[in-house]
Amino acid sequence: MEDPESAGAAPAPGLSSLLPPREFLRSRKGQLLLAESVLSFIIFICYIASLAASFMMAPLLEFLLALFLFFAYASKLNEKFKGIHWPLADFLRCVTAAIIYFAISIAAVSKYNDGASKAAGVFGFAATIVFAVDFYITFNDLVTFLKQGSSDSPEGHKTE
């Protein structure tokens, strides 16, 4: 029987078909969305294990939203659904996430004494920085798009 890899055949569909393309993973937007998803999941786990379990909803929602946008941009869903202004939605998500993570991180670090709350607060400050970088880059993309005054969609600039 001939080895499919040596014959140059495409890999069999399976779990590898769910993975995003490598060029998206190497892009700045892909790396930011992946970092946001991972940090949000870690913060969610830390809040579950801590005394500050009341804060666990914000990281869970941000994890799900970042994961959705990660796969939406990876599968080019933003190019198929033109009714949603994707960069603006992404900008608003990043701004609110940075503010919420900053606020709950301060509360978790200052109010609770257990290690999991402190770890969630530290990861929350790191997530605040990542979300702030993402909304700064997204804001610059929106400004350059608005200054151009063209009717082109800025999503082409998002996957660079």
Residue 10 lies in a domain: no
pLDDT grade, residue 143 (50/70/90)? Answer: confident
Widest Cα–Cα separation across the chain: 65
Model pLDDT, residue 61: 95
Q: What is the DSSP letter of 151?
A: S
Which residues, 6+ apart, have CB-to-CB distance to 139 below 8 Å?
A: 91
Q: Give the range among 5-9, 10-14, 43-47 with minimum mean pLDDT.
A: 5-9
CA distance 33 to 113: 31
Residue 59 lies in a domain: yes
Residue 71 lies in a domain: yes
Q: What is the mean pLDDT of residues 123-141?
A: 94
> How many domains, the chain?
1
Kindly give the residue spans of alpha helices, DSSP state H, lying in the chain: 22-26, 28-48, 57-74, 77-80, 86-111, 115-148, 155-158
Burial 123-154 (b: 16+ CB within 10 A, else e): bbebbbebbbbbbebbeebbeebeeeeeeeeb
Residue 67 lies in a domain: yes
Residue 155 lies in a domain: no
Q: What is the DSSP letter of 6?
A: T
Model pLDDT, residue 77: 84
Model pLDDT, residue 10: 55
Model pLDDT, residue 36: 94
Identity of the residue numbered 61? L
> What is the tens place of the pLDDT at every residue in 29-86?
889 999 999 999 999 999 999 988 889 999 999 999 999 988 888 888 878 888 878 8
Smallest Cα–Cα separation from 124: which of 45, 27, 34?
45
Which domain, by its residues, includes 35?
25-148
Residue 120 lies in a domain: yes
Structure tokens at 116: 């999991």
Model pLDDT, residue 121: 94
Residue 2 lies in a domain: no
Q: At what angle do helices 115-148 and 86-111 cross, to 10 degrees?
A: 160
Model pLDDT, residue 49: 93
For the question of whether the overall pTM of this predicted structure is more than 0.75, the answer is yes
> What is the tens place of the pLDDT at every residue in 80-122?
888 878 888 889 999 999 999 999 999 999 999 999 999 999 9
